[in-house]
Amino acid sequence: MENLETGICPSTLVEDGRVHRSVYTSAAVFEAELDRIWYRDWLLVGHVAELPEPGSYVTRRMGRQPVIVCRDRDGRVRVLLNSCTHRGATVLRPGYGRARAFVCMYHGWTFGLDGRLASVPMRDHYGPEFREEALGLKEVARVALYRGLIFASFSDDAPPIEAHLGEARRFVDMALTDDIEVLGTMEYEYRGNWKFHMENTIDGLHGIYLHRLFGNSGLLSSGNSLDLGNGHAGLMWRAEKAKGESGRLMGLDTTDTSPDTSRTIVLFPNTGLVHIQDLINLRIVMPIAADRTRVFTAALGRRSDTPELRARRASQLSAVQGPAGAAGADDIEVFEALQEGCAARAPEIDWLDFSRGERGSSGDLTDETGVRGCYRRWKAMMAVSQADRGRSI
């Protein structure tokens, strides 16, 4: 059943229009994903608005590896492995804040904002071979900014970020202007595979059935499911004015009815960008195991917002997103149902259907055009042999 152990390449578990259940359940597939996707590709690790001044930091994960995303004394954004070079403990506990230096709680080794080992207690107890300069926090190979998004990659061979984002840049540009601010953040875990979140973000059909509030509020209308290349994908649809009590409940009651103002984007593999009328929501997906995923989500606004709009955008974080949100609660429930259900196995049902809609790069809003693009990229990356990897650490 677990194909990797029997020597079957995991890339054969995805075909155009169908996906084998084991890509969600197999620990061996998950390990291969870490090596071939999570430790090679560009990953979103934050937004510059989270780091307003020198010393600002957030903790994140890149695959299984904990990282610190921070702004050093010169204002430069750095991504450091959150692992003390003494005995390996995480130097910062999960969270965010501002620091003058990073002090490990175990034995007090102290690192500068640039990762350098700044001081060690009772330094004179070490011999002449002890070299501080070799014991700084390891820096992740590549860091790149695009529209305030902070991307990092363990691979020296990762292409320029603009080339990686390709056509998806156009959609990022529409949502993320230069005056973005973070209005609130949340992190949660669900008992399901990371790809369920990827699929769901660009699933234009489920809203009508799973999110009855959205279905009734008139938010869903005609639009497109788009394969943007490189595994990136999106939905774009005409924004109708939110109607009735459900629209108000979600804080989506808005006068902005211009066409094409609603879109949800996946930047493969770990970014979700949701821009529905005046809701701007950024998500960073961080896999823990085949059946466990952590999600960071941030409500974004613009510095030019009126106090009323700012309050509405902020309230959307808890009203719409996360385990208690009007949409988040539904989605998380279904992620766990998917994980549990995918344990059911028989040759006749092992392949799951992703064939809805015409082939090509653009389909109807409810088609599975975008998600097929995500899986094309997944398949291509999973087919790369380990010898070909460009990992730096």
Using CB under 6 A as the binding rule, the residues of this chain from 208 to 267 that contact ligand FES are: none
Closer of 86 and 302 to ligand FES (Cβ): 86
- Report how far residue 102's alpha carbon sits from residue 92's, in angstroms, rounded to the nearest whole number: 7
When CB distances are held under 5 to 8 angstroms depending on the partner's kind, the choice from Fe ion, ligand FES, none that residue 107 binds is ligand FES
Using CB under 6 A as the binding rule, the residues of this chain from 25 to 84 that contact ligand FES are: 84
Contact 313, 279 (CB under 8 A): yes
The one among 89, 309, 311, 384 contacting ligand FES by CB under 6 A: 89
Closest contact distance (angstroms) between CB of 103 and ligand FES is: 9
- Report how far residue 336's alpha carbon sits from residue 214's, in angstroms, rounded to the nearest whole number: 21
Contact 263, 203 (CB under 8 A): no
In 30-76, the DSSP E strands lie at 43-47, 56-62, 65-71
Give the tokens for residue 56: 């600002």
Closest contact distance (angstroms) between CB of 335 and Fe ion is: 10
CB under 5 A: which stretch of 146-154, 270-278, 321-329, 353-361 binds Fe ion? 321-329
Closer of 331 and 368 to Fe ion (Cβ): 331
- Report how far residue 279's alpha carbon sits from residue 44's, in angstroms, rounded to the nearest whole number: 20
Give the tokens for residue 224: 């497109």
User: What does the angle CA 239 – CA 242 – CA 243 come to, to the nearest 5 degrees?
Assistant: 140
The dihedrals phi and psi of 59, each to the nearest 5 degrees, come to: -105, 140
Closest contact distance (angstroms) between CB of 85 and ligand FES is: 8
Tell the residue number behind the tokens 């994960």, with chain if given.
61
When CB distances are held under 5 to 8 angstroms depending on the partner's kind, the choice from Fe ion, ligand FES, none that residue 331 binds is Fe ion
Using CB under 5 A as the binding rule, the residues of this chain from 41 to 80 that contact Fe ion are: none
The one among 331, 342, 374, 376 contacting Fe ion by CB under 5 A: 331
199 binds Fe ion (CB under 5 A): no
CB under 6 A: which stretch of 86-94, 132-140, 262-270, 349-357 binds ligand FES? 86-94
- Report how far residue 90's alpha carbon sits from residue 67's, in angstroms, rounded to the nearest whole number: 9
% helix / strand / coil in the chain, to the nearest 5?
30, 30, 40
368 binds Fe ion (CB under 5 A): no
Using CB under 6 A as the binding rule, the residues of this chain from 93 to 132 that contact ligand FES are: 104, 106-109
Closest contact distance (angstroms) between CB of 206 and Fe ion is: 6
Give the tokens for residue 312: 């509405």
Closest contact distance (angstroms) between CB of 139 and ligand FES is: 18
When CB distances are held under 5 to 8 angstroms depending on the partner's kind, the choice from ligand FES, Fe ion, none that residue 84 binds is ligand FES
CB under 5 A: which stretch of 14-22, 69-77, 281-289, 324-332 binds Fe ion? 324-332
Residue 299: name the closest of 323, 284, 316, 287 by CA.
Answer: 316
- Report how far residue 126's alpha carbon sits from residue 108's, in angstroms, rounded to the nearest whole number: 15
Q: Which residues bind to Fe ion, rule: CB under 5 A? A: 327, 331
Q: Which residues bind to ligand FES, rule: CB under 6 A? A: 84, 86-87, 89, 104, 106-109
